[in-house]
Chain A
Amino acid sequence: NAGVTQTPKFQVLKTGQSMTLQCAQDMNHNSMYWYRQDPGMGLRLIYYSASEGTTDKGEVPNGYNVSRLNKREFSLRLESAAPSQTSVYFCASREGFMNTEAFFGQGTRLTVV
């Protein structure tokens, strides 16, 4: 049972390049989340999907787009990367839309130069 899997684990981008971070969960969870975590800071919610077919903005959505491809997969896209988007990105999922335990992936460390 893999849980929440993120790819890639590391990525270096040049300013202006685009990329998609992939997240897949095998727990049949309804809700999925994308966070970013800057050094020494807490996690900030970028986008979330409470159920398949829906997506909503979180605390820091600017510069990002998401796609809930199916129940298992939730991708995060940077259309034109900026140095300010250098961060560690975490994907999470949980069964319900509240009051249930969230499971996190191992993170993607992204550097934009």
Chain B
Amino acid sequence: LAKTTQPISMDSYEGQEVNITCSHNNIATNDYITWYQQFPSQGPRFIIQGYKTKVTNEVASLFIPADRKSSTLSLPRVSLSDTAVYYCLVDGYSSASKIIFGSGTRLSIRP
């Protein structure tokens, strides 16, 4: 199972673009990269998933370079409501059905 490493915390301001990078050096060929968001006192919520290059949805973009050893979650024009913990996960055959969360990145948005 590929281990993920991401910053413990990040700060930003409303209206800025925020990029959170995750390292997953041992990612397997058939693994996907998935990001979840968790607000206090709530369960995590799926944000985005990708395999390679770029994936975009209404909430975020996910950039994955060709070697797939890292990925970057991009949140455009953040607001106070984006203050949350963001988890990067690797999911696929190497995880054998398990969904393993790391420590996540605590993102704080200031006015």
Contact = CB atoms under 8 A, between A and B. Distances in A.
B is a partner of A: yes
A33 B97 CA distance: 10
A90 B39 CA distance: 13
B49 A99 contact: yes
Contacts of B45: 104
A45 B43 contact: no
Interface residues of A, number: 27
Which of the listed residues B41, B87, B92, B98 has the most CB atoms from chain A within 10 Å of its own CB? B98
A58 B95 CA distance: 11
Interface in A53-91: 56, 58-59, 90
Interface stretch (B17-25, B64-72, B73-81, B99-107): B99-107
Contact of A101 (B46, B92, B93, B102): B46
Contacts of B101: 35, 42-45
B32 A50 contact: no
27 contacts: A4-B43, A33-B99, A35-B101, A42-B85, A42-B87, A42-B103, A42-B104, A43-B44, A45-B99, A45-B101, A48-B97, A56-B98, A90-B43, A92-B43, A92-B99, A98-B32, A98-B91, A98-B93, A98-B95, A101-B46, A102-B36, A102-B44, A103-B46, A104-B44, A105-B43, A107-B41, A107-B43
